Structures are given as structure tokens and as C-alpha cells.
Amino acid sequence: MRSSKALLGIMFAAGLIAAPTAAFAVSEIEVTVAPPAARVEVVPAPREGYVWERGYWRWDNDARKYNWNEGRYIQNREGHHYIQHEWRSDGGKWRFRAGHWDDD
């Protein structure tokens, strides 16, 4: 019993250490329901030091539906460029790739 608690503690600690690196991973999902058409957004005037992240449809697996996430400015990362969110049709399925920063 004592060794299983120690093992759980070690696994928890390892998860805390690994968590920050997971935040930078590119996230992808696959669904069989096509997203609605993109909404037309009015993009505000450019802001120095920021990049406009377009709005996108996010799949809510629990509710089994799409929710709209409005566009927003995100702080620029020096030495990187932003790749927008994207839905792609792939043989009757839809693949979503979350927006992310890539090296220049």
C-alpha cells in the first residue's frame, strides 16, 4: 500500500513537470460533423506587438456541437509566426488543427 502511494506521488510530480511543455504542443482533433461556415468578422485596427487570431468553430465533444470562438489579438512572439486555426476535410471526417506559433 505504501509503495503504491509513493508511486502515485512520483507520477503526480512528473505530470506537474511535464505540463508546461504540453502547453506548446499543436493540438489536433477529428470529428465526422462538418463545421458551419466561418463567420465574417470585422478585424479591429492593427495593434503593435500583437497578431490577430481569427475566430473559429470549436468542437465541444460533450455537447456534440460546435461553439464559435471570436477572434482576438494575441501577443506576438519574437522569432515566430502564427499559424491560424484550421479545419480540413479528410475522407468524410473533419480534422481541426489549433492555431499555434511556429519558428521563422
pLDDT at residue 96, rounded to an integer = 96
Residue 3 within any structural domain of the chain: no
| 19 located within any domain | no
Three-state SS at 88 = strand
SS3 (DSSP) at 93: strand
> Is there a domain that residue 65 lies in?
yes
Q: Is 49 a member of any domain?
A: yes
Q: Is residue 84 part of a domain?
A: yes
Total structural domains in the chain? 1
Whole-number Å distance between alpha carbons of 53 and 43? 10
Domain range enclosing 58: 27-103
Burial of 60 (0-12, 13-18, 19+ CB in 10 A): exposed
| Per-residue pLDDT in tens (0 to 9) along the chain, 104 residues | 555 454 444 444 444 333 333 345 678 999 999 999 999 999 999 999 999 999 999 999 999 999 999 999 999 999 999 999 999 999 999 999 999 999 97
The answer to whether the predicted template modeling score (pTM) of the entire model surpasses 0.85 is: no
Task: Judge whether 11 lies within some domain.
Answer: no
86 assigned to some structural domain:
yes
Task: Examine residue 89 and state whether it is found in any structural domain, yes or no.
Answer: yes
